[in-house]
Structure formats: structure tokens, C-alpha cells
């Protein structure tokens, strides 16, 4: 209950007219950038980071909150109205959402996505407010060896569990850790991997790395493979939900939230698996109630645009976006690309990631959480009426769109230090990002490696200094041992899990296609 009081205080800080304006600007900018095809939430936040440079931390946080949920919502609009999802988390939304749009029910798809995001985001944020402080209280007691183990767990799991190829995940992780080494060694002040370049001595600016890898890398990769014919945009009207749609949506929203939140909070959980699980569940439930004859025959619309198939995964997506705030705020551990970009932004305010985040900067954390609630509400209020306008953004000509991304990426890099050298660095990381997309190297392990690498080294050296260099201290704490055991267990069971998942996934996609085809030929 004490937490609710603190959240209330945070709301007080967030609810001044000026701050509401920042929240609204954040939501609008976030949605605007998120809707643009080819821009996911992480890239949207990375691109918009420079906008917050001149702001006070509190206002910047409020804007982040808006950007964050705005960017997420914008991404789902894109996947519903375009055939091709921009990121793995929207694959499931796109599956039914796009069918709904083509069947003339795009407005309902957008509405159930928006309301579902609002419901999941609000429940998720409240859960964060309940869990994160308790976890943070425990977290400050965690010793260096256990904290080190936790980071190893987060990094190894993101590298090996997500994505198709564990080897490529590990490669990407090591490249990220190498990038994190560049600059002065924190203890002895000796330069590492700086090649004598003065700008590299005070470490790489994480904003430049993130914008380079996410924004410029993506733009260059798209440039190399630009679709000749842009994907077909389905026209859409004013989003609204009829009573029947609402009746069919609310349970999937809640179930999706229940799937999304815990996965979001786990390392390597992300939004991909919960959206998938939510989709499968809704599909099974719809099938069962259709065969039992409880509902009308069109209750099982899966494969033809079922509203449950949009409501569930969208809620799961947003709930996991809220869930990832738990490890980020309580432990200072980012577990998704978006979280790592947000955390890197905090570093710009001299806030170090780690378990002390919640205790040392409590007021800021509560303001952020309150702003997330406000941003979420604003998102619903602003975006439902604006949806047709956002849909029009999807028709923006691609040369100008990607030229704009290049423009804002360079502006962001340049504005960090007003030094053209940073644009050069941006270019280097952009080329790296493009190469990673070409070679199927996942981006997330790299960016987590860049951010967590230095922190990991600090904890490692802290632990080893205490023990006088004896590595046995790394597994001297019970928590550390437990974490390594979990890691081992996951690594052993991973092949089984991924085989089950890919089999179910390909079956569902194939089935959905078959149904759509039979449906088409029946007409």
C-alpha cells in the first residue's frame, strides 16, 4: 500500500500542465515514429532520444514514457494495416489483424489493439509498481558474485535462447562486449581499444551506438533490399468497438496480459513467446467453443480475421513491455532492446544501471511509473480519433522516409557532443548494423553486451578483489549457484523447446493459410 502512496506522489509530479504537455508530445511523437514502416519501438526511442537531451530528468522521463507506449502502439497499427510485420513481436498481431483489415474490419482491429494495449499497459504498470520496489529491496542486498551471475544469465540467455542460431547470438554478444570495452578502464584509467583517438577515450556514447545499430543499420539494410512495390495499405475508418466485439475482446485482453507480464520480466523472455502463446490459446479456445456449439458458427473466425487473435497478442505484447520494467528498474538489468535503449538514456543523466537505481533515484522512478499510466491513457484518448491519420503515414514514399531516418539519426549523433566525429562513429555502427542484418546476427545481444559489459566487469573485479583473486568466490553465494543452475537447465532444455515452438508455429501459419485459401475458393 505504501507503493500506491508513492505512485500517487509520482502522479502528482506528472500531472502538472507542463508535464502533461510533455507526455502528450511524447505519445504523439512516439506513435508518429512507431507507425512509420520499418521503425520498431526500440528504433523509435533511439531516434527520439536527442529530443530529451535538453530537458530536466523528470520531464525527459515523462516524455520517454509517452514515446515508449506510443512507439509500441504505432508498431501494431503498421502490422495490422500492412501485410508485413516489422518485428517478431507483431507477427501474431499481423496474422489475424491484417486479415481483419482486408475483410473490412480494420477499424475494429485497431480499436481492440488500442484498448487492449491500454488495459494491458495499465495493469502491467500497476504490477510493476507493486513488484519492482520489493525486488529492489532484495536486490540491493545481492552481492557482487550473484549480481555478476545474474548478468551472465541475462546475456547468455538472450544470446542463445532467442533467435534461430545460438552461435550467431554469442558472436553478436561478444562483439557487443568488445564495443563496451572501448575507452578508459574505470579502475586504473588506462585506455583500452582506443587506437589513440581522443574521442574514444571517454567511452562510446551509447546513444550513438544504439542509433547506429538500430536506425542507420536498418535504413542501410533496407536501402540494399528496398521492396520495389511498397506493401499494400488497407484503408481504414474511425476505430470503434461494437458490443459484440467488446464481449469477445475483454477475456483475450486479460489472458494476454497474464501471458505477457511474466515473460517481459524474464531475461530472454521478450514479447515474442507470450504473443505466440496468447495466439495459440485464443485459437484453441475459439475452436473448442465453436465445436461445443456454445457460440454461433462465426465464433471461430481464426484464419479469416478473428478479433480474439488481435486482442490477445496485442495485450500480451504491451504487458510484456511493462513487465520488462521490473528487471530494468529493480535490478538495473535491461532484458529487451527497448529497455536497453531506455536505460542508456538514463545513463545520459548520470544514472547508473544497477540495483541501487530504485533506492537512489526513487522519486524519478515513481514519476516514470506514474507517467507511464498517464501516457497510456493519453495514448487511448489521442490515438483512437487519430488512427485514420496515422494510417495515411503508411503511404509516405520510401526514399523520403528513409532519407528522413538518415537525417534524424545524424542529427541525434551530432547533437550528443556537437562533434562531426560522432557522425563518423554513427556511420561505422550503421555499417555494422547493416552487416549484422545481412549475416543474421541478432541485434539485442550486442546492445545488451555494450550496456552490461562495463557493469559486469566492475562486479567481477569487485568480487575478485574481495577474494584476493580466487575465482571460487564467483560461486560462493547460494543465489549465484542457483542462477548458474537455472542457466544450465535452460541451455539443456533449449533445443527441445525451440523444436516444439517452431513446429507449432509453422503448423499454425500453414493452417491459417490453408483456411484462408479454402475460404477464398469457397466464395
Partner 1 sequence: MSTEVETPAAGAAGEGPGGPGTRRVDAAQYGLAAVLLVVGAYTVVDAATLEVGFADPVGPRIFPFVIGAGLVVTSVLLAVATARGSRPEPEAGEDVDVTTPADWRTVLKLVGVILLTIATVTWLGWALAGAILFAGAAWALGSRTVVRDVLVGLVLAVGSWYGFVVGLGIPLTPGVLDGIL
- Retrieve residue 419's grid coordinates: 562533434
- Taking the complex as a whole, the smallest distance from the CB of residue 310 to partner 1 amounts, in Å, to 18
Site for partner 1 in 443-482 (CB under 8 A): 453, 456-457, 460-461, 464-465, 468-469
Phi, psi (rounded to 5 degrees) for 292: -70, -15
* Residue 440 burial (CB count, 10 A): 11
| 35/408 Cα distance (integer angstroms) | 16
426 in Cβ contact with 208 (< 8 Å): yes
**Of the residues 16, 289, 359, 400, which one makes contact with partner 1 according to CB under 8 A:** 400
Residue that is written with C-alpha cell 467453443 in the block: 289
Q: 3-class DSSP state for residue 468? A: coil
Residue that is written with C-alpha cell 475508418 in the block: 237
Residue 248 or 459: the one with the smaller Cβ distance to partner 1 is 459
**Of the residues 102, 203, 251, 398, which one makes contact with partner 1 according to CB under 8 A:** 398
Q: Does 192 bind partner 1 (CB under 8 A)?
A: yes
| 353/355 Cα distance (integer angstroms) | 7
Residue 11 or 20: the one with the smaller Cβ distance to partner 1 is 20
| 56/387 Cα distance (integer angstroms) | 31
Query: Per-residue x/- mask for partner 1, residues 278 to 317, rule CB under 8 A?
Result: ----------------------------------------
**422 contact partners, CB below 8 Å, separation of at least 6:** 199, 205, 208, 413, 414, 416
Eight-state DSSP code of residue 463 = H
* Residue 321 burial (CB count, 10 A): 29
- Taking the complex as a whole, the smallest distance from the CB of residue 427 to partner 1 amounts, in Å, to 5
51-57 long-range Cβ contacts below 8 angstroms, 24+ apart: 52/345, 53/348, 53/415, 53/416, 55/22, 57/349, 57/351, 57/364
Q: How many residues bind partner 1 (CB under 8 A)?
A: 88
Site for partner 1 in 490-509 (CB under 8 A): 506, 509
Residue 251 or 398: the one with the smaller Cβ distance to partner 1 is 398
155 in Cβ contact with 452 (< 8 Å): yes
CA angle 214, 210, 456 (to 5 degrees): 130
Q: Does 81 bind partner 1 (CB under 8 A)?
A: no
**Of the residues 11, 377, 415, 491, which one makes contact with partner 1 according to CB under 8 A:** 415
194 in Cβ contact with 182 (< 8 Å): yes
Query: Per-residue x/- mask for partner 1, residues 207 to 246, rule CB under 8 A?
Result: -----------xxxxxxxxxxx-xx---------------
Residue 315 or 460: the one with the smaller Cβ distance to partner 1 is 460
**Of the residues 188, 198, 291, 296, which one makes contact with partner 1 according to CB under 8 A:** 188
Residue 15 or 226: the one with the smaller Cβ distance to partner 1 is 226
**Of the residues 247, 295, 389, 407, which one makes contact with partner 1 according to CB under 8 A:** 407
| 134/368 Cα distance (integer angstroms) | 17
Q: Does 423 bind partner 1 (CB under 8 A)?
A: yes
- Taking the complex as a whole, the smallest distance from the CB of residue 122 to partner 1 amounts, in Å, to 29
- Retrieve residue 444's grid coordinates: 539485442
Q: Which stretch binds partner 1 (CB under 8 A): 1-9, 122-130, 286-294, 434-442?
A: 434-442
- Taking the complex as a whole, the smallest distance from the CB of residue 300 to partner 1 amounts, in Å, to 20
Residue 17 or 469: the one with the smaller Cβ distance to partner 1 is 469
**Of the residues 362, 427, 490, 491, which one makes contact with partner 1 according to CB under 8 A:** 427
Site for partner 1 in 153-182 (CB under 8 A): 164-165, 167-168, 170-171, 174-175, 177-178, 181
**Of the residues 45, 65, 82, 512, which one makes contact with partner 1 according to CB under 8 A:** 82
- Taking the complex as a whole, the smallest distance from the CB of residue 194 to partner 1 amounts, in Å, to 9
Query: Please, what's the b/e burial string for 93-108 (b: 16 or more CB within 10 A of its CB; e: otherwise)?
Result: bbbbbbbbbbeebbbb
Residue 188 or 296: the one with the smaller Cβ distance to partner 1 is 188
Q: Give the residue from 286, 283, 285, 260 showing the smallest Cα distance to 273.
A: 260
- Retrieve residue 4's grid coordinates: 500506491
Residue 220 or 346: the one with the smaller Cβ distance to partner 1 is 220
**Of the residues 424, 485, 489, 497, which one makes contact with partner 1 according to CB under 8 A:** 424
**Of the residues 242, 438, 485, 493, which one makes contact with partner 1 according to CB under 8 A:** 438
| 502/498 Cα distance (integer angstroms) | 6
Amino acid at each position: 500500500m505504501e507503493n500506491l502512496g508513492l505512485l500517487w506522489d509520482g502522479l502528482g509530479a506528472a500531472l502538472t500542465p507542463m508535464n502533461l504537455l510533455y507526455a502528450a508530445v511524447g505519445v504523439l511523437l512516439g506513435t508518429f515514429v512507431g507507425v512509420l514502416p520499418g521503425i520498431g519501438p526500440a528504433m523509435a526511442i533511439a531516434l527520439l532520444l536527442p529530443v530529451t537531451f535538453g530537458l530536466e530528468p523528470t520531464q525527459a522521463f515523462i516524455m520517454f514514457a509517452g514515446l515508449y507506449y506510443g512507439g509500441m502502439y504505432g508498431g501494431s497499427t503498421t502490422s495490422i494495416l500492412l501485410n508485413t510485420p516489422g518485428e517478431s513481436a507483431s507477427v501474431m498481431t499481423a496474422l489475424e489483424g491484417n486479415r481483419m483489415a482486408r475483410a473490412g474490419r480494420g477499424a475494429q482491429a485497431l480499436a481492440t489493439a488500442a484498448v487492449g494495449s491500454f488495459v494491458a499497459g495499465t495493469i502491467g504498470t500497476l504490477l510493476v509498481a507493486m513488484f519492482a520496489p520489493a525486488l529492489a529491496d532484495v536486490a540491493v542486498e545481492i552481492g557482487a558474485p550473484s549480481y555478476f551471475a545474474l548478468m551472465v544469465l541475462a546475456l547468455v540467455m538472450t544470446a542463445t535462447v532467442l533467435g534461430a542460431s545460438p552461435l550467431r547470438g554469442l558472436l553478436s554478444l561478444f562483439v557487443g562486449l568488445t564495443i563496451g570495452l572501448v575507452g578508459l578502464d574505470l579502475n586504473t584509467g588506462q585506455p583500452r581499444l582506443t587506437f589513440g583517438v581522443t574521442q574514444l577515450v571517454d567511452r562510446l556514447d551509447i546513444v550513438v551506438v544504439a542509433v547506429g545499430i538500430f536506425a542507420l543499420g536498418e535504413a542501410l539494410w533496407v536501402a540494399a533490399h528496398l521492396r520495389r512495390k511498397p506493401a499494400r495499405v488497407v484503408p481504414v475508418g474511425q476505430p470503434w468497438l461494437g458490443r459484440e466485439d467488446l464481449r469477445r475482446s475483454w477475456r483475450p485482453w486479460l489472458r494476454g496480459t497474464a501471458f505477457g507480464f511474466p515473460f517481459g520480466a524474464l531475461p530472454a523472455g521478450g514479447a515474442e513467446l507470450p504473443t505466440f502463446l496468447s495466439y495459440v490459446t485464443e485459437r484453441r479456445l475459439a475452436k473448442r467453443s465453436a465445436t461445443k456449439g456454445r457460440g454461433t458458427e462465426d465464433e471461430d473466425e481464426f484464419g479469416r480475421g478473428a478479433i480474439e487473435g488481435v486482442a490477445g497478442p496485442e495485450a500480451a505484447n504491451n504487458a510484456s513491455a511493462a513487465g520488462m520494467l521490473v528487471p530494468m528498474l529493480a535490478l538495473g538489468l535491461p532484458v529487451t532492446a527497448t529497455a536497453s535503449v531506455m536505460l542508456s538514456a538514463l545513463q545520459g543523466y548520470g544514472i547508473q544501471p544497477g540495483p541501487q537505481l530504485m533506492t537512489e533515484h526513487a522519486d524519478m522512478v515513481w514519476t516514470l511509473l506514474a507517467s507511464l499510466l498517464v501516457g497510456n491513457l493519453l495514448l487511448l484518448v489521442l490515438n483512437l480519433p487519430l488512427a485514420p491519420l496515422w494510417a495515411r503515414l503508411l503511404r509516405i514514399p520510401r526514399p523520403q522516409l528513409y532519407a528522413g531516418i538518415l537525417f534524424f539519426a545524424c542529427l541525434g549523433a551530432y547533437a550528443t557532443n556537437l562533434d562531426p566525429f560522432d557522425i563518423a562513429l554513427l556511420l561505422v555502427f550503421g555499417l555494422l548494423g547493416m552487416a549484422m542484418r545481412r549475416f543474421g546476427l541478432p541485434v539485442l545481444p550486442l546492445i545488451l553486451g555494450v550496456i552490461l559489459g562495463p557493469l559486469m566487469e566492475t562486479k567481477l573485479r569487485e568480487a575478485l578483489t574481495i577474494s584476493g583473486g580466487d575465482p571460487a568466490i564467483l560461486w560462493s553465494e547460494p543465489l549465484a549457484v542457483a542462477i548458474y543452475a537455472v542457466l544450465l537447465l535452460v541451455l539443456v532444455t533449449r533445443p527441445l523447446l525451440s523444436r516444439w515452438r517452431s513446429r507449432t508455429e509453422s503448423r499454425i501459419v500453414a493452417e491459417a493459410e490453408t483456411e484462408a485459401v479454402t475460404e477464398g475458393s469457397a466464395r
